[in-house]
Structure 1
Amino acid sequence: MNNKSIRKLCFAGLLVAVAVIGSLLVIPVFGAKCPPVQHMVNVTAAVLLGPGYALGMGFAAALIRNLLGLGTLLAFPGSMIGALLSGLAYRIFPKLSAAYAGEVFGTGVLGAIASYPVAALLMGNSTAALFTFVPSFLASTVVGAAVSVLVLSALKRTHVFSQLEGTLR
């Protein structure tokens, strides 16, 4: 394993820890626990580490949150799809706005729709409808993406972003 891989894994672990601790701050809407910090972490990971790491971190954070009783099974499709789409959007269009849009659409729409079968089949929520989770997931991801706009913009202004990008990419 080279130094760059070790740095990426350490940074990914740090971001997963931030996502898990940040899950204590939730927006409860219609039975979903929506943590905006997870979405901020998704965008940060997508931009600095790439779509594969972002997807893996979304899974790891969702798993740890569920094991600790801090989340629901809806965390898996919600965070993973948004993180992956954010990373792919940033890779195709290397602009922060593309990463934000990928996270918001991936989590707020696709992740919310993908949560329907999870809620209906695995969680026994027979009252859930196909678009039930879209409002709550959108609210959470918009807040998280807005926070990531502030964080990543500040990192860019202070040139820390380019240093991190050089170290991690």
Structure 2
Amino acid sequence: MEKRSVVLKMTLLAILVAVGVVISPILRVEGMCPMAHFINVVCAVLLGPWYALGCALMIGVIRMFFMGIPPLALTGAVFGATLSGIFYYWSKGKIIGAVIGEILGTGIIGAMVSYPVMTLFWGRTDLTWFFYVPSFIGGTLIGGSIAFVFLVALKKTGHLIQFQRSLGAKVYDTSKIHTGNSHSETA
């Protein structure tokens, strides 16, 4: 079962990276990339903080090298993806915890880290520490909200728990789930 869950995790990670790269330029608002935040939260909930960090790194690197996106693709995403997974864990599986982690990680920390990166490496001298905060928070609110609605819908149907169990991820739901047997089990 362990080898199967590793293969499933890697497959899902590859799918999320591919989807993240493809939809980021399509569903984009100037200065914001809300679908990247959607991917961060979904990956954090399904796979955990370290997979979410890896997913954000891979998407950012691919976007930077093949699409000419500035390093904001990395500085904005990695903190939010990681904190999304950590806050999901700390909140004992509350989806809103993952969304809040994304908002704080990307909207505040990632935005502020972007200032020195863009100033030092890209020569942007017209920036301040808070220059990217409004657009990053706007993007995280949009993408996080979409992720919240999506994950709550999965949870209501029982698919979220099934996905997490299949992936060998921590399952936080303590409600009784019907397994097809004559008894129910507690998650």
Q: Which amino acid aligns with 1:102?
A: G
Shift of 1:67: 1.6
Q: Are 2:94 and 1:98 aligned?
A: no
Q: Which amino acid aligns with 2:89?
A: R
Q: Which amino acid aligns with 1:62?
A: G
Greater relative contact order (Cα < 8 A, sep 6+): 1
Q: What residue number does 1:36 align with? A: 34
Q: In the superposition, relative to structure 1, how do residues 11 and 70 fare at CA in structure 2: closer, same or farther (>3 Å)?
A: farther
Q: Which amino acid aligns with 2:5?
A: K
Q: In the superposition, relative to structure 1, how do residues 7 and 153 fare at CA in structure 2: closer, same or farther (>3 Å)?
A: same
Shift of 1:70: 5.5
1:16-70 CA-to-partner distances (Å, cap 9, x unmatched) read 11111111122213xxxx2111100100111110000000110000001112215
Inter-partner Cα distance in structure 1 for 2:139 and 2:35: 9
Identity %: 38
Q: What residue number does 1:143 align with? A: 142
Q: Which runs of 5+ in 1 are unaligned?
A: none
Q: What residue number does 2:131 align with? A: 132
Q: Are 2:121 and 1:122 aligned?
A: yes
Shift of 1:77: 1.2
Q: What residue number does 2:46 align with? A: 48
What is the TM-score of this pair, normalised by structure 1?
Answer: 0.94
Q: Which runs of 5+ in 2 are unaligned?
A: 170-187
Shift of 1:150: 1.2
How many residue pairs are counted as aligned between the two chains? Answer: 165
Q: What residue number does 2:11 align with? A: 10
Q: CA RMSD in A?
A: 1.1
Task: Please say if residues 23 and 70 of structure 1, whose CA atoms lie closer than 8 Å, have aligned partners that are also in contact.
Answer: no
**Deviation beyond 3 Å, 4+ runs, structure 1:** none
The match for 2:28 among 26, 29, 33 is: 26
Q: What residue number does 2:108 align with? A: 109
What is the TM-score of this pair, normalised by structure 2?
Answer: 0.85
Inter-partner Cα distance in structure 1 for 2:109 and 2:42: 20
